[in-house]
């Protein structure tokens, strides 16, 4: 099993842990660890071994550096390590996120960590801000195996966010607050390789059909909420997404959920999109900062199953109507059907198709679309 720790010591790590709690099951998230002369977040002598790891069980664990009894550990989420790749002196772990997880007895889990992994992150020289405090990424014995010792799913998310909300990094205090959130969609994420065959770099996206309505279950927890809406979530997309309701969600309670429905426009030319969740202060005069997920999810838009069939049928219908308009109906009684068909010459058929193409071109111009 691969163990990936995050202490939220810097802002980027704080956001990544909040993103880990936000993303839906099946989404790929990256975890980056440095090895240098001054920082050793993984065993550099095992680099080649890490680069060969694929499809291994993984668990993401939050670390509270400032716990009164030394470091405390909070499992957050299970996953599958899809692979690793190197970027300079950093090693990046690509994890397909799975279920939320939290121990029924966190003291027992902590003792398991201590007994099995002495090289784990731990309080060093009595200084919780020391950056040389152990390995934050390593492979080792599976101590998660007995599922009876853990809770999972939404219950685990509720538990771990309650625990994190009381830690030094995420506690709501004067001038500093945190928003936790999570989503699930009614379609599963897809995975693509944006790297090479020798060095895959896996990314997630949603494959959506134009004109189809999708549902997002959005849940949040805002421990610092004091009865007035000071924070909102703004749903961001390009012009090709249409939200069925307001694209701004005010966080007016300490915890709640919303149902969000949106539809990719049926006749957009866009093939890619982004769906962003931006957490923003409403009252900018209030003197506080807040931690929140920073989310921008890739979408790929596809035409519906019958889109091109509709294009062909409507074009043929237009051509037939155009040809019928050109007939001299006064002569129909004097001709049989075969004579009428032979009277429609090839150039008339070509002109009718050209007429249909010009009409489509005009509609695209009227719609502000590029004619190519």
Q: Summarize pLDDT for 305-317 with one digit per residue, the tens.
A: 655 566 566 666 6
- Least Cα distance to 61 among 50, 77, 41 occurs for 77
Taking the CB of residue 219, how many other CB atoms lie within 10 A of it?
A: 18
Strand partners, 248: 234
Q: What's the pLDDT at 368?
A: 44
Q: What is the pLDDT of residue 115?
A: 94
Which CATH number applies to 175-305? 2.60.40.10
What is the pLDDT at residue 295?
94
pLDDT tens track for 162-200 = 999 999 888 876 667 899 999 999 999 999 998 888 888
Domain ranges across the chain: 1-171, 175-305, 307-366
pTM of the model: 0.83
| Per-residue pLDDT, 209 | 92
Below-50 pLDDT ranges, the chain: 367-372
**Which secondary-structure segment (H or E) carries 73?**
strand 72-87
What is the C-alpha separation between 154 and 58, in angstroms, rounded?
19
pLDDT of 206 reads 96
Distance, in Å, from the CA atom of 119 to the CA atom of 134, rounded to the nearest integer, reads 5
DSSP state of 64: E
Q: What is the pLDDT of residue 370?
A: 40
DSSP code of residue 24: P
**CB-based contacts of 142-146 (< 8 A; 24+ apart in sequence):** 142/1, 142/57, 143/1, 143/109, 143/112, 143/113, 143/116, 144/1, 144/57, 144/59, 144/75, 144/78, 144/101
Q: What is the pLDDT of residue 338?
A: 53
Residue 56 has what pLDDT? Answer: 95
273-307: per-residue pLDDT in tens? Answer: 999 999 888 766 555 677 899 999 999 998 866 55
Q: Give the pLDDT confidence score for residue 132 in this predicted structure.
A: 86
């Amino acid at each position: 099993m691969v163990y990936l720790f995050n202490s939220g010591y810097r802002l980027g790590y704080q956001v990544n842990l909040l993103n880990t709690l936000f993303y839906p099951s099946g989404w790929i998230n990256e975890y980056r660890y440095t090895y240098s002369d001054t920082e050793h977040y993984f065993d550099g002598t095992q680099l080649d071994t890490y680069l060969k790891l694929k499809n291994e069980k993984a668990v993401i664990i939050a670390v509270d550096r400032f716990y009164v009894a030394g470091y405390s550990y909070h499992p957050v989420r299970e996953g599958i390590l899809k692979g690793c790749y190197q970027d300079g002196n950093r090693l990046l772990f690509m994890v397909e996120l799975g279920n939320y997880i939290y121990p029924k007895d966190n003291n027992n889990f902590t003792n398991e960590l201590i007994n099995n992994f002495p090289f784990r992150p731990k309080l060093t020289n009595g200084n919780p801000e020391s950056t040389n405090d152990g390995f934050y990424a390593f492979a080792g014995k599976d101590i998660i195996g007995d599922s009876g010792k853990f809770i999972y799913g939404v219950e685990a998310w509720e538990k771990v966010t309650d625990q994190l909300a009381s830690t030094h990094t995420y506690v709501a205090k004067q001038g500093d607050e945190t928003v936790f959130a999570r989503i699930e969609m009614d379609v599963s994420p897809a995975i693509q390789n944006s790297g090479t065959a020798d060095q895959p770099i896996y990314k997630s996206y949603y494959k959506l059909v134009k004109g189809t309505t999708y549902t997002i279950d959005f849940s949040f927890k805002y421990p610092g909420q004091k009865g007035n809406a000071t924070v909102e979530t703004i749903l961001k997309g390009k012009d090709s997404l249409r939200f069925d309701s307001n694209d701004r969600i005010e966080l007016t309670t300490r915890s709640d959920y919303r149902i969000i429905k949106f539809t990719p426009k049926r006749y957009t030319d866009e093939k890619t999109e982004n769906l962003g969740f931006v957490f923003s202060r409403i009252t900018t005069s209030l003197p506080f900062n807040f931690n929140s997920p920073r989310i921008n999810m890739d979408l790929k838009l596809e035409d519906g199953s019958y889109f091109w069939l509709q294009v062909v049928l409507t074009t043929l219908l237009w051509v037939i109507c155009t040809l019928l308009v050109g007939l001299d109906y006064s002569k129909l009684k004097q001709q049989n059907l075969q004579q009428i068909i032979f009277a429609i010459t090839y150039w008339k058929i070509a002109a009718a198709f050209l007429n249909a193409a010009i009409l489509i071109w005009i509609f695209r111009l009227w719609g502000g679309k590029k004619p190519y």
